[in-house]
Amino acid sequence: MLITRRSLLVGAAVLATAAGCSNGGGAAPSSAASSAAAGGAGGDVGVFTWWADGSEKEGLDALIALFKTKYPKNTFVNLAVAGGSGSNAKAKLASDLANKNPPDSFQGHAGAELTDYIDNEQIEPVDDIMKALGGASVFPQTLLDLITVGGHVYGVPCDIHRANMVWTNSGLLSKAGITAPPATVAAWIADLQKVKASGVATPLSIGGTWTQTELFESVLAANLGSSAYTQLFSKGGKWDAAGVKQSITDYATILGYANTVSDGDDWPAATVMAADGKAAYNLMGDWALAEFTSKGLTWGKEYSSFPLTGNGEQLFGFLADAFTLPVGAKNAGGAKDWLNLVGGAEGQLAFNLKKGSIPPRTDVPSSSFGEYQQKTMTSFKNDKIVPSIAHGAAVSLAWSSEINTAMSAFYQSRNADALQSALVAAHAKYAA
Amino acid sequence: MTGLRRWGAGLVFLLPSILLVGIFVYGFIGKNILTSFDQVVTKSGKVRAPGGLENYATLIGDPRYQHALWNLLVLTVVFVVGTMFFGLLWAVLLERSVKGEGVFRSIFLFPMAVSFVAAGVVWRWLLSPATGEGAVGLNQLFQYMGMPWLQSSWWSAGQFNMAAMAIPAIWQLSGYVMALFLSGFRGISLDQREAARVDGATEWKLYRHVLFPQLSPVALSALIIVGHMSMKMFDLIYSIAGPNSYTAEVPATLMWAQMFQLSDTTGAAVNATLLLVIVAVVVVPYLVYTNRSEKR
């Protein structure tokens, strides 16, 4: 009974996909989303995410509503698993994939984090979907380079976040006499000292292990510069270089200005410290904006932010979410409808407005977004893009786990040599 | 024929559970042990696991694993001693027919009804290592009570940090040990106490020479139950320390990291097998002992 129903579904999906292809072949890129079989492939479309709360959930809900109106024949099945940064969700997903019971599409951090799934032959390339969506004519080439593995794109990007932002409390900074954002890590350390001297016990607020990794990667990128930093993740990456050593020393100095935390602490508590004036600085991705907004504060007035930079170049700490096409998805046709939606201009507008991120597509009108998001969109066009370690853009899941563990150990031991050799060992083990 | 009839009925009743336990417990243990000897070479030709007993040598030689074992040792010793102490103390206090015994018994037992994960979220906050101005949780409480010198980094620093991780576990399971001891006390007939008192035994002597010796089987059961729980403890530590904590790592959390983050199935299987052996070293002698004493 079950088998016949499933094979019927698959049959329908194949037919629908074939129909979609024949229609969409010569059509203009922008109409790719609507050129699939009218109303969608039909059947259940199970989509797996870790967007179960807050602005992330609002974004997903906006996408679901749009999916229902555009593809009324499909039934959306929300397979979201709660848990920050997807730590719980990834464990559930790993067992579903190992049991050959994949969802029709799942969320992943775009970039190197998808390599585990690619190695295990668990996801399929989505080159044809990306091409139908407009390819390089609507997605920036820098982004396509970052998400291309072995000549193929394995995920449709739906949002972009910036990781290397330092959020500042304007009141505390003016009290310390700091007027301009620092141009280098060394200048930032000097500012931290000024804030400390002005009577703030904890100039910088940090959270648990992964927030420390995010801080370290930002220091590393600012010190090394974009090209040397990006080189670290290739096969010939030199983690034993003097620049890395200097960054570890700087990072340890910066930690000296921070509050005491435990490994499991979450990020909002740290961001709230900066909002409440208990800390002058907090380094966090741009999702921190929602924490300030929810307190009724205005960017540029009570608080502000600057990206951590160095070497005279502006850096954009990059991370993005993408949706995949799993091997053996029960409703591949429905999954493609979903990918067309999240990769299309309409879907990206609705989703990113709610989530606070920026759309990867360049043809989404920026005028609909808030001031901060507009600034981020400009930065993404002009700045040097550096992939994030903590958020899976630069390294595979295993590699980033290894780095996180080393950061946890370093927080207790403050042993720079041990951290550097752990980083070198992780590179030797995982660099492809 | 009669033999078959005698055994047959019993066998039919037992067959489902024999099959289920056979497949889902022993079958999977066997599969896990087989996996632990696998050789794993990636597509690019890197050797992830050398195969055979070398897999075990690799894990045991890994400083990360040794650190996790040390954490486990500290956790287990403090946890077992703590639960036994508080469990026995509360049982002795309640056993003396105090007023409102039922209320206190419930209060002591309630923490066990809370899941480790829910309790872990609260304890993560209570055991925050921040001191001074930014303190929260217990450290802040100590400040309010005028005892700032009691502030601690808890499980976040130091070689014996896992002793602090045992605090929430002791809080949760002392009530259970208390219930075990309480039922042990209730199992001793009142005549013996009266006889001892008639013979002029002091209260201390009564407990020391009459009651405690009869509790030793209960104590042993409690010790084994609490001890093996400690060795398998994962959820509490994971929810307090997060997924990537080196500081609070024990073999069970390391196994999770190996399996779901490092995609090192073989290493996780080796770790699981070693954990099974460690638990078996404690549990099997106990089973042999109870088997023998029941036969007697």
CB-based contact A262 B132, cutoff 8 Å: no
- Beta carbons of A190 and A389 less than 8 angstroms apart: no
- Beta carbons of A162 and A317 less than 8 angstroms apart: yes
Average pLDDT over residues B204-221: 90
The three-state secondary structure class of A369 is coil
Measure in Å the smallest separation between the Cα of B80 and chain A Cα atoms.
25
Q: Can you give the pLDDT at residue A84?
A: 59
Non-local CB neighbours of A63 within 8 Å, separated by 6+ positions: A341, A342, A347, A350, A351
Give the model's confidence band at A85: pLDDT under 50 very low, under 70 low, under 90 confident, else very high: low
Residue A8 has pLDDT above 60, yes or no: no
What are B's interface residues with A at a Cβ cutoff of 8 A? 42-44, 46, 64, 124, 127-134, 153-157, 239-249, 256-257, 259-264
Q: pLDDT (tens digit, 9 = 90+) per residue, A129-159?
A: 999 999 999 998 888 888 888 889 999 999 9
Side chain identity at residue B61, one-letter code: G
Q: Which residues of A touch B133 (CB under 8 A)?
A: 201-202
Q: How far apart are CA B174 and CA B167, in angstroms?
A: 10
Give the model's confidence band at B149: pLDDT under 50 very low, under 70 low, under 90 confident, else very high: confident
Q: What percent of chain A has pLDDT over 70?
A: 90
To which H or E segment does residue B249 belong? none
For B158, the closest chain A residue by CA position comes to A412
Q: Can you give the pLDDT at residue B22?
A: 94
Side chain identity at residue A258, one-letter code: A
Q: pLDDT (tens digit, 9 = 90+) per residue, B69-84?
A: 999 999 999 999 999 9
Q: Can you give the pLDDT at residue A22?
A: 37
Measure in Å the smallest separation between the Cα of B224 and chain A Cα atoms.
30
Residue A271 has pLDDT above 60, yes or no: yes
The DSSP bridge partners found for residue A43 are A74
Which member of A91, A402, A408 has the closest CB to residue B245? Answer: A408
Q: pLDDT (tens digit, 9 = 90+) per residue, A351-384?
A: 999 888 999 998 999 898 988 999 999 999 899 9
Instruction: Return the residue in B40, B122, B244 with the most chain A beta carbons within 10 A, the one to mutate for interface testing.
Output: B244
* CATH number assigned to the domain with residue range A2-160+320-377, chosen from the 4 options 3.10.450.50, 3.30.43.10, 3.40.190.10, 3.40.50.2300: 3.40.190.10
Non-local CB neighbours of B43 within 8 Å, separated by 6+ positions: A119
Mean pLDDT is lowest, of A90-94, A354-358, B21-25, B86-90, for A90-94
Q: Can you give the pLDDT at residue A150?
A: 83
Mean pLDDT is lowest, of A26-35, A262-271, B3-12, B104-113, for A26-35
To which H or E segment does residue A5 belong? helix A2-24
Residue A173 has pLDDT above 80, yes or no: yes
Residue A99 has pLDDT above 80, yes or no: yes
Count residue pairs from A and B with Cβ separation < 8 A. Answer: 95
Query: What are the structural domain ranges in chain A?
Result: 2-160+320-377, 165-318+382-430
**DSSP assignments along A154-201, one per residue:** --EEEEEEE--EEEEEHHHHHHTT--S--SSHHHHHHHHHHHHHTT-S
CB-based contact B42 A263, cutoff 8 Å: no
Mean of pLDDT over chain A = 87
The ipTM (two decimal places) reads: 0.86
Which residue bears the tokens 């040599």?
A: A417
Measure in Å the smallest separation between the Cα of B237 and chain A Cα atoms.
10
List Cα–Cα distances, A401 to A240, A350, A390, A413, in angstroms.
Answer: 19, 33, 9, 18
Q: How far apart are CA A392 and CA A320, in angstroms?
A: 9
Q: Can you give the pLDDT at residue A20?
A: 38
CB-based contact A408 B244, cutoff 8 Å: yes
Average pLDDT over residues A344-353: 94
* Selected residue with higher pLDDT from A431 and B5: A431
For B127, the closest chain A residue by CA position comes to A262
CB-based contact A260 B134, cutoff 8 Å: yes
> Across A95-99, A250-254, B238-242, which has the greatest mean pLDDT?
A250-254
Residue B193 neighbours by CB distance under 10 Å: 16
Which residue bears the tokens 């033999």?
A: B3
Q: Can you give the pLDDT at residue A34?
A: 42
* Selected residue with higher pLDDT from A373 and A6: A373
CB-based contact A262 B42, cutoff 8 Å: no
Measure in Å the smallest separation between the Cα of A359 and chain B Cα atoms.
29
Residue A33 has pLDDT above 50, yes or no: no
Measure in Å the smallest separation between the Cα of A262 and chain B Cα atoms.
6
Which CATH number applies to A165-318+382-430?
3.40.190.10
The DSSP bridge partners found for residue A123 are A326
How far from chain centre, in Å, is Cα A124? 21
Average pLDDT over residues A74-100: 82
Q: How far apart are CA A392 and CA A382, in angstroms?
A: 23
Which residue bears the tokens 């019927």?
A: A8
For B46, the closest chain A residue by CA position comes to A429
Domains defined for chain B, CATH in brackets: 62-268 (1.10.3720.10)
Which residue bears the tokens 């141009």?
A: A183
- Residues making up chain A, counted from first to last: 432
The three-state secondary structure class of B160 is coil
Q: Can you give the pLDDT at residue A21?
A: 38
Residue A202 neighbours by CB distance under 10 Å: 23
- Closest Cα partner for A50 from A60, A37, A42, A40? A60
CB-based contact B127 A90, cutoff 8 Å: no
Mean of pLDDT over chain B = 90
Q: Can you give the pLDDT at residue B62?
A: 94
Backbone angles phi, psi at B231, to 5 degrees: -70, -25
Residue B167 has pLDDT above 50, yes or no: yes
Torsion of CA B226, B227, B231, B235, to 10 degrees: 10
Q: Which residues of A touch B35 (CB under 8 A)?
A: none
Q: Can you give the pLDDT at residue B131?
A: 86
Q: How far apart are CA B67 and CA A267, in angstroms?
A: 27
Q: Which residues of A touch B152 (CB under 8 A)?
A: none
- Beta carbons of A119 and A99 less than 8 angstroms apart: no
Residue B195 has pLDDT above 80, yes or no: yes
Predicted structure pTM score: 0.86
